[in-house]
Amino acid sequence: MEIINYTDQHKAFRIKARNFMEKEVIPNVEQWEKERLMPKSAWKKMGEAGFLCTTISAEYGGPGLDFISSMIVMEELTKTNHNGAGPLLHSEIVVPYVEAFATEECKKKYLPECVSGDIVMAVGMTEPDVGSDLASMETSVIEDGDEVIINGSKIFISNGINADLVVLAAKDPAVENPYKAIDLYLVHKDMPGFIKGQKLDKMGWHSQDTAELFFSDCRVPIGNRLGKKGDGFPMLMKKLQQERLVTALWGLTAAEFTFDQLLKLYRDDSGLGKPIKKTQVKQFSLVELATELKIGRTFADKLLVDHMEGKDIVPETSMAKYWLTELARKVADVGLDIMAEAGVIKSNPIPRAFVDVRSMLIFAGTNEIMRQIVSKSMKI
């Protein structure tokens, strides 16, 4: 019995998404990887086809679909061997902050263009000397009439070059409690004092632009603050369950895709010029991976349903995030062993998976942080 109730509408939507990816994404992936950028024109096509921000209501120009539909887009995009694409971050992690916490004026101003692809979003939290401990951030914000002035920098910002709008975390130096000092602001690329750095040349995820962002006396309307003053940290915590669940499902889908490619190469004896040596050890490794993927899919699908029902599953999503992203790494690692010499050839899909999935263990909270969260829930 399926855990997720895929309706006829879901199935038709998947076919539509798959056809779109085959026509508009797969033929361009290698060029985007080479150019280190998924161009804005591709974002526009995704928006026009209804594959950005699928859960945004019609009131704000969105398709008004459910979270299952969002995950269908993620799955079909990941199956293009394109783990570094930014639309998932935009649609399922950043835009939900605007939908949940922005003023009505900001929602009407920004959300329709997020849906259409005219606005690409990023989130600015990580700083050069600050990673998981957000309370230690140094980017400052000071109120000045009906504006705020922001100074500081952020690094490793996914979608940083393409970004038109950033959910930026900044801290009021006058507030003693660091957890009450943090606020989130919507900062548009055209606001004075917002400067984008160079694209960072990463180990993997080459199609997703990553950059350092600078803010020098950047003036932002106070109405662009999300929620009430001092609510930034609680808002971040509230959205982390979905962010980590999305990352877990993303990691699992990447693992499944890599495994399917590996299995095809093994069955077809496609060693890219050299036959793959068949051994019982390799057979057993494939069986073990297949078993873990089956277990992982059951766990992840149950969490997706629980999340849609509004359940508090923070410990479980933390478990899934660390386990499934590490499973993605394991599948790629074992895949290279099975492919032997052919595993180092770039035209083989396994090497890309190997370098792409590694960063999944870091973002949305490192896997060490995930273990800490679970240990606290276990009171150990």
Active site residues: 243
Q: Of 243, 372, 254, 380, give the one whose Cα is nearest residue 317.
A: 243
- Cα(343)–Cα(336) distance, integer angstroms: 5
Locate 2 and state its tokens.
């399926």
* DSSP character string of 240-305: HHHHHHHHHHHHHHHHHHHHHHHHHHHHHT--TTSPPPP-HHHHHHHHHHHHHHHHHHHHHHHHHH
User: Exposed, middle or buried, 129 (CB in 10 Å: 0-12/13-18/19+)?
Assistant: exposed
Contacts of 94 (CB under 8 A, 6+ apart): 121, 122, 123, 159, 167
Instruction: Give φ, ψ of 171 to 5 degrees.
Output: -125, 135
Rounded Cα distance between 210 and 92, Å, is 18
The DSSP symbol for 127 reads: B
* Contacting residues for 19 by C-beta, under 8 A, at least 6 apart: none
Both structure tokens of 151: 């100074």
Phi, psi angles (nearest 5°) of residue 61: 85, 10
Which residues have CB under 8 Å from 343's CB, separation 6+? Answer: 335, 336, 337, 350, 351
125, HSE (Cβ side, Cα atoms, 13 Å): 19
In 3D space, the residue among 260, 245, 229, 223 whose CA is nearest the CA of residue 103 turns out to be 223
CA–CA separation, 246 vs 321, rounded Å? Answer: 8
Q: Which residues pair with 225 in a beta bridge?
A: 185
